[in-house]
Every structure is written in structure tokens, then in C-alpha cells.
A and B are shown apart, each in its own frame.
Chain A
Amino acid sequence: MKDFVLEFEKPIVELEKKIAEMQELSAGGEVDISDEIGLLRKKADTLRKEVFSNLNRWQRVQLARHPRRPYTLDYIKLVADRFQELHGDRSFRDDHAIVAGLATIDGTDLVIVGHQKGRGTKDNLFRNFGMPHPEGYRKALRVMRLAEKYDRPVVTLIDTPGAYPGLGAEERGQAEAIARNLFEMSRLRVPILAVVIGEGGSGGALAIGIADRVLMLEHAIYSVISPEGCASILYRDATQAPKAADAMKVTAPDLLEFGIVDELVPEAFGGAHRDREQTAANVKTAILTRLAELREIPLPSLLEQRVEKFGEIGVFDE
């Protein structure tokens, strides 16, 4: 997992390895190869620029799902001064696919709610691959109500393949839990900011995605159904997922163009996983800027505008 490299990242990573080796050699001090190293660096830079300025949609999907990509807890660690996680929905159990808690960022108290994927098999089983059950969404709503009570804004971090499609999830009302969140978030009496940090998987993502502003990391995706799911229904073949990703237009630039998201937050060059600190710093700036902006809007207008924001989405002929 630590060395996981995507196919299209390989040539770049190989060059970088070579540079590192040469640096080690040159540190030995026998021969001066700094010119060669400089040349290779330039080459690596050019290559990266080339690859990353021409990413196709499927490559972006892969980046959004990159196993080394920072997850909710990574961002919390990097952006928050303090964080106290709160557990449980007070009704059934604690869902580890959703993290929620009381945070302070740069002196601003707020609530953070986010999907949490795992790293490695064991952790992923614990986190259920970031796919929440109804109790996860109910925990999220419970903690958002605390934000409302204490008049603190809510920041949600979206990163899930989708809500879990299982027996228990259906028994405990997956649909109702999602619907309830859409409804209650629409009238929550504090500012809400949503940031899609990785995978925005359908209703399971939207269930914490109703917000006054929706931001999206540069290489994140957001879609009505997973490309694999779409492909298996429409082309009867899940391996046609790249084609489905193209057809559904699931990338951050697509969503910006459709007016679904308000802003793209730049990632470190080569993707968030290449420099977590840099990416987190960008996320932090975006959060603070947007929260300051939302604080200026009187609550009645804020609530009115929130309903209108989603009300305006739709393309039809009349």
C-alpha cells in the first residue's frame, strides 16, 4: 500500500527513484553528477506536467480512489488545532465509516463530519471501505444538531464509494436515513460547507452533502452511480467503467462546469497523495475563507439560499 503507484504515475516515479539513487551516489562525493541530476529533474517535471495536464476521466477516478490519498482523519489531523471525536447514533451503534466530532480550526469552533475509508485490509474492514450504514448517517445528523445547538458551522468531508448495500442497512432504513439527512440538513440553522475530498458516491455521499457551499478537490469525483455500476447496467459489463465515467462526466472540472460545485480546491502537483501537507493547507484556506463568507449572511437568507441553490439544479425544456 505504501508504495502503491498507478500505471500512469509509473514513469514519473521511476525517474524520481533514479534521481534519488544518483543523489545518494553524489553524496558519496566521488564524482560530480549534479548536472545530470538537474537534467533528470527537469525531465521528471516536464513528464509530470505532461501527464497531469492531460488527465483523462478514468485517470482522475483512479486518483480519487488512490489508496495513498489522504482521508478525513488525515485532513482533520492536518487542519484542526483540536478535535474530539464523538461516537454513536444513540440508537443502534457506532458506524466507523463516518467520523464526526467537535473541532477547532485556527481558533474557529466547528463540527466536522466525514466519510472514513481504511488503509489496508484490516483497517478497511473496520471502516467498511468507507461505506456507511444508516447509523452512520444518524450519527452525522446527531452531531450536526450539536453544531446547531451551539451555533457553530458544519464542515463535511465527502469520500465514499456509496452507502452500504446490505441486509442490515436495508433493515435499519438506509433510504430513510439518507432522506432524513437531506431534509434536516436543508434546514439546519447554521452554515454548512461540504468538501468532496475523494469519491462522491451517489446518495451515500449526498447524505452529508447538503450545504451552503460545495467545494471539490481538483481530482475528486462525484457521481449518481459508480462508473462500474453504470457500466454493468448500461453495457452489461463492469469493465467498461472508464467509458461510463466519460459518459456520466464525473470529474471535478465537469461538476464545476455544470454549476454543481462552487469551487475547485487545488491539490499538490501530481495529486493529493504526493504532498498531503500542501493539499491540506489548501483545504484549510478554502474552509476558512468560505466560512468567513457564510458568517456574513443573515440566517434567514442563508436558509432561503440553501434551498434555492439545489432548487436551481436541472436542465429541461419548457
Chain B
Amino acid sequence: MTKWFKREKDNLQSAQKRDVPEGVWIKCPACEAVLYSRKLERNWHVCPECGHHMRMEAPRYIDLLADHGTWSEFNEQLKSLDPLGFKDSKRYVDRVAGSMKKTGRNEAVTTGTCAIDRHPVVLAVMDFKFLGGSVGSVVGEKIARAIDRSLELKHGLVIVSCSGGMRMQEGIISLMQMAKTSARLTRLADAKVPFISVLTDPTTGGTTASFSMLGDVNIAEPGALIGFAGPRVIKQTIGQDLPEGFQRSEFLLDTGFLDQVVPRRELKSRISEFLTWMNGRGS
């Protein structure tokens, strides 16, 4: 296996460390090359030295995929409530408020319509920065409504996943979002509307075990962590270290759970290729 998707440390809490502060030099976590942040951003957060894909926020994915000026967001007004009155070291409502402040967005998924290489689509992009991209009521509802919109417009659906799984602060209600989204996808399939699932680093837990794995084609960025159980849980269960590259995109391609591994720069043209075939030549 090539070196550039190998992660130095088995540490999932690296989201904050990986943020790119404005106008500073940062080190690539894979090859340790020192990079100017502006340059990195222009390169869609892919290390120009080794090709390591760093996390990228939802608005940048929209910039990457949507044709200029075609993006129109919907359901951005949906906000989380606190059905359980959940509190650990912090109250759930405060955690949500903190994430809203940090990201400038209301929830861990952004949904809207746009065109990808002139193919009209419904696009949903998840955001790890918002409570680990966890799926609670709002994310579930926004995905479900994106599916409905897709069905109504007969426009293909593209979901870019980036999520640690279901949001435990909403308890069983969040678990049921797996059922909600998967059930809704049957309508899309029965109506023969395309669904392309893009998995990015990381996509784990109930997210992988529901809509993320249900695309007509499932593609992933290089080196992304993709699985059901997180590596730490597996390590604890089996009491040994995990093999190199385990649960990375290339491993899933090998074991037969991904159709392709696609570099970020090629995502748009690849999705467009698929849609051209799926929509038929006329469109």
C-alpha cells in the first residue's frame, strides 16, 4: 500500500488539530511537509507533496462540486432541540450552540439543489466539524427531505458523508434516523432516480450502516476511514493492533464495498460521468 494515506497516529479526535487557521504554515499529518494554508486551501485541502486528503468543510465541497452560481440551499432553518434533556459534562443544547458558532451553520449537514457539470442534482454535504458529523433528528430529517426533493424533481441525489455515526445525545431517536433515511431511499430506488454516495474521512457507525452504503454507486476519497465499528472499539474487542490500512478506502475497494476510490480533484468529473450514464444521453 502507498504511504500517503497512512495516518501517523490512531487518533480520531484530530478534527480540531486539523483546522487550517488563516494565513499560517501547517504541517501535513502524513508526509510532514510544511505547507502554506492558502495554498492548501486552493488545492482543496489535499497535500500537494504527498496527496494526503485532509478534512474539508461543507461549503468547500459545494464549491468543488456545484457549477458556479447554481447552488441553492434548502431547509437550513432546521435546528436541533433537546428531546432527552441530555447533559454530560456540558448540556447538549450548549454543545449544539457551540458547533453552530464554530461552523456558522445550523447543523451537521447542508442540503440544496445545484448542477454538477450541468446535471441538475440534489446535494447533501455532511460536516465533521459539527459535533463529529453525528446524525440526530435534524440531519436525519434534512437527508429525508433531500431524498423527497430528489424524488419530486427526478434529479439525482448526491450525498457526501463525513460522520462519526449516530448522535447519542438524542438517544434512540437518533438511532431511528438510520431507519428513516434508509426507508426513504427505497422510494428513490423504486422511482429509478440516481443516488451517488461519496464517503469521506471519516464515515463510521450508523451513517455507514445506513444511507452512506446504499448508493447506486459508492465512491470514496483516498485514505478515508470507513467502517461500522470505530478502530478503537475493535482494538479493545480483539485485544490486538489493527492491520495497516484496515478500514481505509482502498481496503473497502479491495473487500468489495466501494465501487471506486476517487481523488478529490476528480470527484466532480467522476460524478458527472456517472450521472451522464444514469440520466441517459439526452440529458
Contact = CB atoms under 8 A, between A and B. Distances in A.
Contacts of B256: 173
A223 interface: yes
B86 interface: yes
A213 to B, nearest CB: 14
Contacts of A178: 209-210, 228
Interface stretch (B21-29, B32-40, B77-85, B118-126): B77-85
A198 interface: no
A176 interface: yes
A234 B89 contact: yes
B230 to A, nearest CB: 8
B79 A179 contact: no
Nearest to B205: A203
B182 A182 contact: yes
Interface in A141-195: 163-167, 169-176, 178-180, 182-183, 186-187
Contact of A316 (B138, B172, B176, B234): B138
Nearest to A308: B183
B238 A166 contact: yes
Contacts of B185: 183
A50 interface: no
Q: Is the interface of A mostly helix, strand, loop or mixed?
A: helix
Nearest to B145: A311
B186 interface: yes
B177 interface: yes
Given A175-B227, A187-B190, A234-B88, A315 B180 contact: no
A129 to B, nearest CB: 11
Interface in A178-232: 178-180, 182-183, 186-187, 202-203, 206-207, 209-210, 222-225, 229-230
Interface residues of A, number: 53
Contacts of B184: 307, 311
A314 B141 CA distance: 7
B202 interface: no
A183 B172 contact: no
A31 interface: no
A230 B168 contact: yes
Contacts of B83: 258, 315
B59 interface: no
A182 B88 contact: no
Interface of A: 163-167, 169-176, 178-180, 182-183, 186-187, 202-203, 206-207, 209-210, 222-225, 229-230, 233-235, 247-250, 254-255, 258, 260, 306-307, 310-311, 313-318
6 contacts: A174-B227, A182-B178, A210-B179, A234-B88, A258-B83, A260-B173
Given A179-B209, A317-B79, 20 more contacts: A165-B237, A170-B229, A173-B213, A175-B209, A175-B212, A178-B210, A179-B213, A182-B178, A186-B179, A186-B182, A186-B183, A202-B206, A203-B178, A203-B206, A210-B183, A224-B171, A311-B144, A311-B180, A314-B173, A314-B176
